[in-house]
Structure 1
């Protein structure tokens, strides 16, 4: 009987199989956006059991378990790690047609060589088998990264972070680079109660007392340079939508002073401040040669009771239906008019916006840069077979698929790197099917090169990550 995850999984034609096995399968991974905890890489954490490695912090799994009505104590609560794993194993058979079903078995196969389907009947044996394997150093945090042929992994980091973990890993010969990404939510969300405290801490870190717009800009630029010197080449922003209002620095400074004194601001002032700070940040990224990532559209923490019980990232987020096009166009255009638009990746959480984002990316090009503004890979609720397919179809129809920089994990799990394989298989199946039907020429060498570019070469050229972190950085 053929294993469920077999050599030709998702590859439905001879052309697809040749594209994948000859051109895609062996390529290294550039995981340019994830949420792996840097400290676990720095300390090279060894996991006591499969629950700690696989279920701890994974809100995708938590959502599925809750939908089956499983007790919260068996998900994030007081139950033992083995009880939590058994609860997950009882869930897996019910996840059929959800991406969790594919991911679960792909990860068991790729990391542990387990080809059996996970069920309540074999869960205890699999748990014990993997726990025994986890005693080996090859299954530590760094070992798991090396195991998947990862060249670069970019974490997501707060500007207040001293990046001690990144410095520690940079001083080792691991065969991969762990680089930070600048995620300045605390600078942008002026409406939050903790905003003034956040700026006070940033002032302490940078040696700049933040009292007005000019001092804020000085502190931010110092913070950005600090990250740059430690290898950062990307920023990341999670927003409901872009902020395209005209930039009025005097107005932004007045709003900032109100918040520094604890005075509340209205929604219009909030939008004005966010427009100004996002515009300023983008100009900084452009000066530093960074790439700006815009993750747009979700509604976060919708279940307030669960938020209070579990905290953020509890798995109670949803696709939003915000209007995206006008403000996104205005935001990008204002930067472009000033010659300050950095390389940018646009991610949408709502599949209804696929064509909007695909066409928006094509509006802002620059000589000498392939795909300066990217329609990013299928994200969050859409990083499954259908979502990946729809993103590829929209990009192919509205832009140039050949210029895309491929997949990322966007994950907190060290077992998520096979999502790159999953994307590559879907990509090769689409192109192979087109070749089979005569929609594309049967030019395996050329289309194979395009596959290599999408899966690795384009990202390597686009980001130009530093080879080493120090005073004299050299670009790849």
Structure 2
């Protein structure tokens, strides 16, 4: 049997009636603010081509690693979910069958943020209030599929319907940004910008690293066989991303937050070793560390905001990675240090107020011990929101509780959704705004913050801080 769900107007607010009333009032003042989405992984081709999304499974299941990993944890193979194999081998292609798997197993998402995001999208975008199940799977599939054929459900129309002011995608350094160019030339008023993700040419552990360096040289006309030419090529690509993609930020997905500040000759010698392939693990880590400092130096020149997403242990499941590739739900959090690791970069650039370095972590034990004290001191540092595995109501609460006393609100950057799932963007921002209002309401109820101050902070967390931090 199928049940009903409801998006309760007081969802995620405190249970205490007096505090809940404050949260409700705070949220009413920010609920309809435009969405600033300064970092994410939606496909710019959606907005360039503005073609209909193909089907419900391709929209909600196949590209969403949150959805995939939960189903996989229940023993459902990724091939059954239509995820393409690297070798082109057979996988399920009947999208209705794939959707049925989600519907029949929807109960496994109870209590997770995915449940909040999916039900929000079902109701607000498609008017669905039935919990997906075996009994209604085909009917819900037809409702969504028929809606996707209508003009008002195309990517640009949804962008406008969601009240998005700006959305940033993320592209690698070898991307020609053709989709961003097409968006700009189309005359559409939506603002879709890129972010520069140089990992393929700064991380020696990335497959094809040596070939990527050669491709970087061909793209820029620089001699990437030399360290000087390599750095110039990176600077050239950053400018290209700013000019063609409207980029205002870079993004660095390193396994650690380690930085280094080598002498030029030592850095050049290290580059020669990693460029030739087969770099030792210590050399690869030292090179990534050096390049974080080099990227900070370049940001002092071109003004790009620097994001460091440190800590994920990528591709923990070797079988999934070898068969299906990256970003299929097999990444895991790991312990991550910041105080010692960032010291070389901060010794050189941390006191500069014209540089913005935004730190993200998957290691919550670093919140009060390392991240909040660092951001509460260095002018260059800001704290990114609760990220990935902690992008959840409880994760957001823990983040605010542990960060605020030392870093305050104004050394953070509000919220970003960091998603590939386009229809989850309004839901994610709704959850973040409600979670922040719940936290602020408690401060007001405990007479630690005035109501007018809380109103201003709520607005800043929902809108202004992200817009300012990312120079949008």
Give the TM-score, by structure 1 length.
0.91
CA deviation profile, 1:401-434 (whole Å, cap 9, x unmatched): 1453211111111112120111001111121233
Alignment of 1:4 with 2:6, yes or no, is yes
- Equivalent residues, number: 454
CA deviation profile, 1:198-257 (whole Å, cap 9, x unmatched): 111111111112121111111111111111212111000011112233322212212322
- Given that 2:336 and 2:366 are in contact with CA atoms closer than 8 Å, whether structure 1 keeps it comes out as no
- Given that 1:154 and 1:178 are in contact with CA atoms closer than 8 Å, whether structure 2 keeps it comes out as yes
- Given that 1:286 and 1:340 are in contact with CA atoms closer than 8 Å, whether structure 2 keeps it comes out as no
Q: How big is the shift at 1:336?
A: 2.8
Q: How big is the shift at 1:79?
A: 4.5
Q: How big is the shift at 1:2?
A: 9.3
| Corresponding residue to 1:419 among 415, 420, 428 | 428
Q: Report SS of the residue matched to 2:308.
A: strand
In structure 2, the CA distance between the partners of 1:193 and 1:438, relative to structure 1 (3 Å rule), is closer
How many angstroms apart in 1 are the aligned matches of 2:448 and 2:253? 38
Q: How big is the shift at 1:363?
A: 2.2
1:218-257 to structure 2, matched below 5 A, reads 218-230=232-244, 231-257=246-272
Moved more, 126-135 or 187-196: 187-196
How many angstroms apart in 2 are the aligned matches of 1:67 and 1:191? 28
User: Could you tell me which residue of structure 2 aligns to residue 386 of structure 1?
Assistant: 394
Q: Report SS of the residue matched to 2:36.
A: strand
Alignment of 1:25 with 2:38, yes or no, is no
1:385-464 to structure 2, matched below 5 A, reads 385-417=393-425, 418-441=427-450, 443=451, 445-464=452-471
Moved more, 210-219 or 164-173: 164-173
How many angstroms apart in 2 are the aligned matches of 1:17 and 1:378? 22
User: Could you tell me which residue of structure 1 aligns to residue 284 of structure 2?
Assistant: 270
Q: Report SS of the residue matched to 1:5.
A: coil
In structure 2, the CA distance between the partners of 1:4 and 1:71, relative to structure 1 (3 Å rule), is same
Q: How big is the shift at 1:10?
A: 1.8
Structure 2: runs of 5 or more not aligned = 15-19, 84-90
Structure 1: runs of 5 or more not aligned = 366-371, 466-476
How many angstroms apart in 2 are the aligned matches of 1:216 and 1:71? 42
How many angstroms apart in 2 are the aligned matches of 1:72 and 1:220? 36
Q: How big is the shift at 1:435?
A: 2.3
Q: How big is the shift at 1:52?
A: 1.3
In structure 2, the CA distance between the partners of 1:163 and 1:91, relative to structure 1 (3 Å rule), is same
| C-alpha RMSD over aligned residues | 2.0
User: Could you tell me which residue of structure 1 aligns to residue 17 of structure 2?
Assistant: none
In structure 2, the CA distance between the partners of 1:414 and 1:41, relative to structure 1 (3 Å rule), is same
User: Could you tell me which residue of structure 2 aligns to residue 353 of structure 1?
Assistant: 366
- Given that 1:73 and 1:79 are in contact with CA atoms closer than 8 Å, whether structure 2 keeps it comes out as no
Q: How big is the shift at 1:347?
A: 0.4
User: Could you tell me which residue of structure 2 aligns to residue 90 of structure 1?
Assistant: 104
User: Could you tell me which residue of structure 1 aligns to residue 60 of structure 2?
Assistant: 54
How many angstroms apart in 1 are the aligned matches of 2:126 and 2:77? 29
CA deviation profile, 1:170-202 (whole Å, cap 9, x unmatched): 233444211110000022112445222111111
In structure 2, the CA distance between the partners of 1:7 and 1:191, relative to structure 1 (3 Å rule), is closer
User: Could you tell me which residue of structure 2 aligns to residue 69 of structure 1?
Assistant: 75
Q: Report SS of the residue matched to 2:329.
A: coil
Give the TM-score, by structure 2 length.
0.91
- Given that 2:381 and 2:411 are in contact with CA atoms closer than 8 Å, whether structure 1 keeps it comes out as no
Q: How big is the shift at 1:3?
A: 5.1
- Given that 1:241 and 1:328 are in contact with CA atoms closer than 8 Å, whether structure 2 keeps it comes out as no
1:9-408 to structure 2, matched below 5 A, reads 9-12=11-14, 13-21=20-28, 23-75=29-81, 76=83, 77-230=91-244, 231-262=246-277, 264-336=278-350, 339=352, 342-355=355-368, 356-365=370-379, 372-408=380-416
Q: How big is the shift at 1:116?
A: 2.4
Q: Report SS of the residue matched to 1:243.
A: coil
User: Could you tell me which residue of structure 2 aligns to residue 471 of structure 1?
Assistant: none
Q: How big is the shift at 1:351?
A: 1.4
How many angstroms apart in 2 are the aligned matches of 1:174 and 1:149? 15
